[in-house]
Chain A
Amino acid sequence: MFNSIIKPTIILTAVALISAWLLSLVNAVTAPRIEAQQKEKQKAALETVLPGYSITAEKKASSNGKELQYWEGTKTIDEKTVHTGYAYIASGQGYSGEIRTMVGVDDSGTIIAVSILQQTETPGLGARCQEVATKKTLIGTITGDNAGTESAVPWFQRQFAGLDLNMKIQVMKKGDWNESIKDELIRNNALSAITGATVTSRAVKDSIEAGMTLLRTAVTFAPRKEIAK
Chain B
Amino acid sequence: MNYWKEFIKGVWERNPILIIGLGMCPTLAVSTSISNALWMALAATFVLVFSNIIISIIKGLVPPHLRIPIFISVIATFVTMVDLSLNAYQPEVYKALGIFIPLIVVNCIILGRAEDFASKNGVVTSALDGMGMGIGFGLTLTVLAFFREFLGANKLLGLTVIPGFEPSSAMIIAPGAFFTLGLMLWAMNSYNSRRKG
Residues of chain A having any CB pair with chain B under 8 Å: 7-8, 11-12, 15-16, 19, 22-23, 26-27, 29-31, 33-34, 37, 96-97, 119-125, 127, 130, 134-141, 195-196
Residues of chain B lying within 8 A (CB to CB) of residue A96 = 98-99
- B17-47: contact bitstring with A at CB < 8 Å (1 yes, 0 no)? 0000000000001101100100000000000
Point out the residues of chain B lying under 8 angstroms from A139, CB to CB. 161
B85 adjacent to A26 (CB under 8 Å): yes
Q: Does B100 contact A (CB under 8 A)?
A: yes
Give the A-B contact count at a CB cut-off of 8 A: 104
Interface assignment of B163: CB less than 8 Å from any CB of chain A: yes
State which residues 39-75 of B face A: CB under 8 Å. 61-63, 65-66, 69-70, 73-74
Beyond the given A97-B99, A121-B98, A137-B159, please list 9 additional residue pairs across the A-B interface where CB-CB is below 8 A.
A8-B65, A16-B73, A30-B84, A33-B88, A120-B99, A123-B97, A124-B32, A137-B161, A138-B157
Which A residues lie within 8 Å of B74 (CB)?
15, 19
Residues of A within 8 A of B98 (CB): 96-97, 119-123, 127
How far is it, in angstroms, between the C-alpha of A120 and the C-alpha of B69 when the chains are bound? 27
The chain A residue sitting closest to B84, CB to CB, is A30
Q: Chain B residues in contact with chain A, CB under 8 A? A: 29-30, 32-33, 36, 61-63, 65-66, 69-70, 73-74, 76-77, 80-81, 84-85, 87-89, 91, 95-100, 148, 152-153, 156-163, 169, 172-173
A125 to B73, Cβ gap below 8 A? no
Which residues of A sit under 8 angstroms from B65, Cβ to Cβ?
Answer: 8
Looking at the assembled complex, report how far the CB atom of B35 sits from the nearest CB atom of chain A, in whole angstroms: 10
- Asked whether, in the complex, the Cβ of A23 is within 8 Å of the Cβ of B160, the reply is no
Shortest CB distance B50–A (Å): 11
Q: Which residue of A lies closest to B80 (CB)?
A: A23
Q: Are A37 and B63 in contact (CB under 8 A)?
A: no
- Chain A residues lying within 8 Å of B153, measured Cβ to Cβ, are 124
